[in-house]
Amino acid sequence: MLDRLLSHDPPRSRWLSVALLIILVALAFAPFLFPGAKSMSVVAKILVFVLLVASYDLLLGYTGIVSFAHTMFFGIGAYGVAIASERLGAGWGAVGLGMAAAIAISIALSLVIGLFSLRVKAIFFAMITLAVASAFQTLASQLSDFTGGEDGLTFRNPEWLSPGFEPFETEILGLLIDGRAITYWLLFAVVLVLFLLILRIVNSPFGRVLQAIRENDFRAEAIGYRTVVYRTLSNVLAALFATIAGALLALWLRYVGPDTTLSFEIMLDILLIVVIGGMGTLYGAVVGSVLFVVAQNYLQDLLKLGAGAVEGVPVLAQVVSPDRWLLWLGVLFVLSVYHFPTGLVGRLRALALRRAP
């Protein structure tokens, strides 16, 4: 049963299986385990990035396409929900309409980009997607009457997802269930289902063709597969899942702006997580998202403790200063790439295969 649920693609490593089980349980019961506002924001961001990075891994790790337009589709999903909710008022109808419109726009754009750009060489396709994403970010910043400009849009969620909604009068296991917790579990359920769906896609005959194109597109074309069609479909599917991830982030934040969804820094974060977790594994999206988002949010706090312990030591106090957390994040990334060139998941699977009788 579990093997079918995982599309006959299990972790294939005991340590990886344990890590994924711990992550699954921690994310499922996060409102009980991490009730604080900051910790809940961190785990919600982890969920969004799991879906976002998994969708990009479908494009990069399984099809071999380098695209810099992924955050554009991420932003379209967020802005779709935000604009509809801000114009039509709080309600499930507005959320559904906004998401449907965002998905339609993303599919149309990804189809056009795929059909007109995937015939060119990889580097030119990457540059085209970068130009399109930059233009879209500029457009979102300038259309202030429609998108809120640099200030973004703040909107209200449907009643069940609003923080003030409390369906129960008493606490359950020490937690008073409110709209915030319900929103989180909505994110968890959607991400879990869509992650399993992506896992099914990459392990289907369609996914096998994508991997064949990644390995040798000329050979795949020679044996009868229309590589442009398969690459375009992969581009459309990745855009679809990224759009839904953006909509989920908007529902959690109840705000959307250029910096939260469309910035190039988010694209860099996606690339880093894919490399850290392991390209072409999908499970790497889970492990990489957890490690990266936790380090991004708590490394500075850890450095504060370290700075307090070595206070008074001239050079060391400056090195572990909390202001240099980005430097240490970069060092950790370089070390992870050096020691785990195939990503953490790739390394764990290789070790398990080596130890197998």
**pLDDT above 90 (res 320):** no
pLDDT at 168: 81
357 has a pLDDT exceeding 90: no
By mean pLDDT, which of 176-180, 212-216, 330-334 is the weakest? 330-334
The answer to whether 257 touches 150, Cβ cutoff 8 Å, is yes
Surface-to-core class of residue 39, CB atoms within 10 Å of its CB (0-12 exposed, 13-18 middle, 19+ buried): middle
- What's the confidence (pLDDT) of residue 356? 66
When pLDDT is averaged across residues 59-68 and rounded to a whole number, the result is 90
Helix, strand, coil shares of the chain as percentages rounded to 5?
A: 75, 0, 20
> Residue 147: which region, alpha, beta or left (left: phi > 0; alpha: psi -120 to 50)?
alpha
Query: Which amino acid, residue 305?
Result: L
The rounded mean pLDDT for the chain is: 88
Q: Closest by alpha carbon to 125, among 7, 6, 234?
A: 234
CATH of domain 2-355: 1.10.3470
Exposure of 310 by Cβ count < 10 A (0-12 exposed, 13-18 middle, 19+ buried)? middle
Q: Are 37 and 297 in contact (CB under 8 A)?
A: no
User: Which residues, including other chains, have CB under 8 Å from residue 334's CB and lie 6 or more apart?
Assistant: none
pLDDT above 80 for 337? no
Mean pLDDT, residues 312-334 taken together? 74
What does the pLDDT read at residue 156? 92
Please tell me the predicted confidence (pLDDT) of residue 203. Answer: 93
pLDDT tens track for 68-87: 999 999 999 999 999 999 99
**What are the DSSP calls for 309-352, one per residue?**
HTTT-HHHHHHT-GGGHHHHHHHHHHHHHHH-TTHHHHHHHHHH
Q: Which amino acid is at 160?
A: W
Is the pLDDT assigned to residue 54 strictly greater than 70?
yes
pTM across the whole model: 0.93
> Residue 120: its pLDDT value, please?
65
- Which of 235-239, 247-251, 317-321 has the weakest average pLDDT? 317-321
**What contacts 241, CB < 8 A, 6 or more positions away?**
51, 52, 54, 55, 58, 194, 198
**Range scoring the smallest mean pLDDT among 107-116, 194-203, 323-332:** 323-332
